Amino acid sequence: MDARKAADCHVPTLPDWITDAVASVGTLPRRDAQIAFAIDLARRNVDHATGGPFGAAIFDEEGRLIAVGVNRVVPLRSSLAHAEIIALVAAQQKLGRARLNGDGRRYTVANSSQPCCQCYGAIVWAGVDMLLIGARAADTESLAGFDEGPLPEDWTGGLERRGIQVIRDLGREAACTVLKAYAARGGPIY
């Protein structure tokens, strides 16, 4: 087995349309604008049929966009290629550290939907200070059929006790619209 060759692959890349989607983004200091941007990424990902109905964006404390992600599980054949994971990998690569807030500044992840069990755990270690969430897990499950996996019963408390503030139901209706659009298109569920 050539182990190094197997591991020396590319991180799931973003679709072509991302370049346009982020080109005009200035500073977005407001939470409602940050979540709206993440939800818009999810919407574009559905419209372009380039992955699942999920988007994520990472901002610094001034609201500057650091990195983005959209769900790419099916096109890239990787169960790791969730929107948040792609955004976190890209942000850490860009800032050059494993904990984003290792510079003493504050970082926010805006998620179009509640993180699944995998992304929940990744957010714990990534060095973020705030998590903004659009749709609830119940929305994702009932509207688009996705399974969100086993989370701690008090999952928000698990983050808050580690200094990660959680704000839910931001732009929930818009996020649900994207989930419904995905289901209406018959997008794959996994």
Instruction: Please state, in angstroms and rounded to a whole number, the distance separating the CA atoms of residues 38 and 11.
Output: 20
Whole-angstrom CA distances from 185 to 15, 53, 154, 182 are 19, 11, 34, 5
- Which CB, 30 or 157, lies closer to a second copy? 157
Q: How far is the CB of 119 from a second copy (least distance, A)?
A: 7
**Quick one: 4 or 104, whose CB is closer to a second copy?**
4
Tell me, what DSSP letter sits at residue 15?
P
Task: Give the binding site for a second copy (CB under 8 A).
Answer: 1-4, 6-14, 16, 18-19, 21-22, 25, 65-69, 73-74, 76-81, 85-86, 88-94, 96-99, 116-122, 124-127, 149-153, 155, 158-159, 190
What is the closest distance, in whole angstroms, from the C-beta atom of residue 136 to a second copy in the complex? 18
| CB 45, min distance to a second copy, A | 13
Contact 91, 58 (CB under 8 A): yes
What's the length of the chain?
Answer: 190
Q: Which is nearer to a second copy, 64 or 185 (CB)?
A: 64
- Minimum distance from CB of 111 to a second copy (Å)? 14
| CB of 1 or CB of 186, closer to a second copy | 1
For residue 104, the SS3 value is: coil
Burial class of 87 by CB neighbour count within 10 A (0 to 12, 13 to 18, 19+):
buried
